[in-house]
A = this chain, B = another copy of it.
Amino acid sequence: MAVNVRSPGPETRERIHDAGLTLFNERGYTGTTVRELADACDLTPGAIYNHYASKEALLFAIVDRVHDEADAVLSETLRGAGSDPAAQLEALAAAFTAFHIARPRETRVANRDYIYLPGGERESVVRRRRRVRALFADVLRDGERRGTFSLRELGSEDAVQAASMAILNMVVLVAEWFDPAGPRSAGDTAALHGRLALRIAGGGDRAGTAAV
A residues near B (Cβ < 8 Å) are 27-28, 30-31, 112, 115-116, 133, 153-159, 161-163, 165-166, 169-170, 173-174, 176-177, 182-184, 188-189, 191-193, 195-196, 199-200, 202, 210-212
Contacts and interface: CB of A to CB of B under 8 A. Distances in A.
Chain A contact residues: helix, strand, loop or mixed: helix
Nearest to A192: B156
Contacts of A174: 165
Contacts of A182: 158
The 4 A-B pairs with the shortest beta carbon distances in the complex, nearest first, are A155-B212, A166-B170, A30-B30, A30-B31
Nearest to A166: B170
Given A169-B173, A173-B169, A199-B200, A156 B30 contact: no
A159 B162 CA distance: 22
Contacts of A112: 112
B30 A192 contact: no
